[in-house]
């Protein structure tokens, strides 16, 4: 038990009470110091575990799929078609501007990527096509919902408009 002595009250205590209070404070400090390394270890473990658990796992695309050339020329018509498809299939998770801030994004286990960033824009058209078609985890595959491959290429062309 820790006893608090206010600076103007200590001289009113009998000597044995003063010694008892000082001993209590020293014991408290001793216990506190013994628990400090354990507490530090727990904090380091939790911090490390949280970074490991919430780290985005790499999404590897087969080399032949990543090298696939875009079959649709990126022109106004293709981008307009891609924009319509984006509004129908992608906005709820990826957001209207591709920032990963759609209305359903917070409910997902994996945070949708920001399409304006180099992480996405640095990928090949073939990689974006593959990921859109096949999906993974929270990201559904769209090869059945969007069976025309030309439409998925239109989506890829639209994704490129988010580049900053």
Flag whether pLDDT at 21 surpasses 90: no
Q: Are 95 and 123 spatial neighbours (Cβ–Cβ below 8 Å)?
A: no
* pLDDT (0 to 100) of residue 58: 87
Which residues fall within 8 angstroms of residue 111, CB to CB, at 6 or more apart?
Answer: 56, 100, 105
* pLDDT (0 to 100) of residue 57: 77
List the beta bridge partners of residue 139. 136
141/40: higher pLDDT: 141
Which residues fall within 8 angstroms of residue 17, CB to CB, at 6 or more apart?
Answer: none
Give residue-wise pLDDT tens across range 53-112: 555 678 999 999 999 999 999 999 999 999 999 999 999 999 999 999 999 999 998 899
* pLDDT (0 to 100) of residue 28: 58
Q: Are 65 and 127 spatial neighbours (Cβ–Cβ below 8 Å)?
A: yes
The domain ranges of the chain are 10-53, 63-162
Residue closest to 21 by CA, chosen among 149, 29, 66: 29
Give residue-wise pLDDT tens across range 110-135: 899 999 999 999 999 999 999 999 99
Computed from CA positions of residues 123, 128, 130, 134, in that sequence, does the dihedral angle turn out positive or negative? positive
**Token match 């530090």: residue?**
40
CATH class in words for 63-162: mainly alpha
């Amino acid at each position: 038990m820790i006893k608090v002595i206010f600076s103007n009250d200590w001289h009113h205590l009998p000597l044995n009470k003063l010694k008892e209070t000082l001993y209590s404070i020293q014991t408290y400090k001793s216990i506190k110091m013994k628990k400090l390394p354990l507490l530090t270890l727990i904090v380091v473990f939790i911090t490390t575990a949280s970074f490991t658990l919430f780290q985005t796992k790499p999404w590897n695309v087969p080399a032949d799929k990543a090298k696939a050339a875009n079959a649709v020329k990126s022109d106004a018509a293709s981008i307009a078609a891609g924009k319509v498809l984006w509004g129908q299939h992608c906005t709820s998770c990826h957001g209207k501007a591709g920032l990963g801030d759609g209305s359903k994004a917070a409910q997902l286990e994996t945070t949708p990527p920001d399409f304006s960033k180099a992480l996405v824009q640095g990928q090949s058209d073939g990689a974006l096509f593959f990921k859109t078609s096949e999906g993974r985890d929270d990201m559904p595959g769209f090869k059945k919902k969007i069976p025309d491959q030309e439409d998925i290429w239109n989506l890829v062309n639209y994704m490129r408009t988010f580049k900053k």
